[in-house]
Amino acid sequence: MDGDNPAKTATGSHTPQGHPAVARERIGILLVNLGTPEAPEAGAVRRYLREFLSDERIVDLPRALWLPILYGVILNVRPAATARNYKKIWREESNESPLRYYTRAQSDALASALGDATVDWAMRYGNPSIKSRLEAMKEAGCTRILIVPLYPQYSATTTASVTDAVFDAVKAMRWQPAIRIAPAFHDEPAYIAALAAVTNRHLQSLHWAPERVVISFHGIPQRYFDAGDPYYCHCAKTARLLRQHMGWTEEFAPLAFQSKFGREKWLEPATDATIEKLAGEGVKNIAVIMPGFVSDCIETLEEIDIAARETFIAAGGETFTALPCLNDAPEMIALLETIARRETAGWLSA
C-alpha cells in the first residue's frame, strides 16, 4: 500500500529523491494555556518568570525601563517565594503543576471525543512550547490547525500573546499549515452552562450555604482597558450571564479582580479587598468562583484557596470555599468539542 511506502506522498505520487514523503493530511487542534514552571524550585520558576515577564504583551513598559527592574530586582527576589507557593499545590504523584495536569487531561479527553483529529496541547510560556507542538503536528501531517487559547475572556495579555507566538512559529516554515484561531468564549452558552454545573455540584456537596459568592477574575492594569482591551467587558458579561443562570443577584455575587502585580492601578474592586470587606460587614460564609481560569492553577489553589481563605478568616469570617475550575469535568470537554467542531467548520465532519 502507498501508506507503507515512504517514497510516496499522501496522494500516491513519488517524491523527489532525497525528500521525505508527505504524511496523510490531518486536521489539528492545539489547546494553549498560559504556562508553568517545570518544578517548584527557584531556578525553574526564574526561567519561567523570565520568559513570561519579558513578553511585551504582559508588561508594555519601555524595555530600557522594565528590563533593569526585571533582571535587577524581580528575578532575584520573586522566584524563591513563588517556588514555595508552587510547592503548596504541586501534584506529587505526577510531579507537575495542576495547570499542566489538567491541560493534558483536557487534550486527551477532547481527542477521544473528536476521534478524527490530532489534538495536542501547549503552553505560551514554558514547555511544551507552542513552536514545538506546531512543528510536531505539521510533521504528523496536520495541514490545517485550529488554535484554541484556553482563555474564555479575550485580552491582549493572553489571547493576543498566543496568536503572536503561533505566527512567530509558522513564520520560519517553508510550508505553513492553514491556521485558525478560536475566538474568546466568554458568553458561549455551553461555557456558562458548564460553570453552572460545576458550581452546583460543589455547592451541593457542602454542609453549609454561602452568604456570598465572589466572582473573581485575574486582573489587568486599568490603562490596558482604557487603551481598548475588551477584557473587563468580557468578564462583566460572563459574571452577568452566570448570575442569570444561577438566579443570583449582583449583591450576592459581586465581581472582583485578583492577582495585582506592580504599583499602577489595576481593575477594581480587588478580590482580597472585597473578601476582607465582606468579613468586616459580618458575612461569615463565602464561596469564590474563578471563571477566567479553565484549569486550577497557582492563582486559584494558592492565591484564593489558601491566601484568600486566610484573609477572610483573619478578618472575622468563618467558612470559606474556593469552587473548582472546569478542569476535566464532562461539561468542560463538551464545551471544547462544541468550540472545536464549530471553529473547524468545513474541516471536520459535524
Q: Distances from the Cα of 253 to the Cαs of 187, 202, 239, 240, 350, in angstroms? A: 18, 16, 8, 9, 37
**Mean pLDDT, each 10-residue run in order, the chain (350 residues):** 35 47 80 98 98 97 96 97 98 97 98 95 98 97 97 98 98 95 98 98 97 98 97 98 98 98 95 98 98 98 98 98 98 98 84
> What pLDDT sits at residue 3?
38
Phi (first) and psi of residue 311, to 5 degrees: -60, -45
> What pLDDT sits at residue 5?
37
Q: Distances from the Cα of 1 to the Cαs of 8, 17, 23, 327, in angstroms? A: 10, 19, 14, 42
Yes or no: say if 156 and 229 are a contact pair by the CB < 8 Å rule. Answer: yes
- Predicted model pTM: 0.92
Sign of CA dihedral 210, 211, 217, 218: negative
Yes or no: say if 64 and 71 are a contact pair by the CB < 8 Å rule. Answer: no
Residue 282, class by beta-carbon neighbours within 10 Å (0-12 exposed, 13-18 middle, 19+ buried)? exposed
> What pLDDT sits at residue 89?
98
Using alpha carbons only, give the angle 190, 57, 122 rounded to the nearest 5 degrees.
Answer: 55
In angstroms, the CA 340 to CA 110 distance is 9
When the candidates are 3.40.50.1400, 3.90.400.10, 3.40.50.11740, 3.40.50.300, the CATH number that belongs to 189-322 is 3.40.50.1400
What amino acid occupies position 316?
G
- Neighbour-count burial for 130-142, b at 16+ CB within 10 Å, e otherwise: beebbebbbeebb
Residue 12 has which C-alpha cell? 500516491
Residue 75 has which C-alpha cell? 528575578
Q: Smallest Cα–Cα separation from 259: which of 229, 228, 316, 302?
A: 302
> What pLDDT sits at residue 262?
87
Q: Distances from the Cα of 82 to the Cαs of 74, 78, 91, 276, in angstroms? A: 11, 6, 16, 23
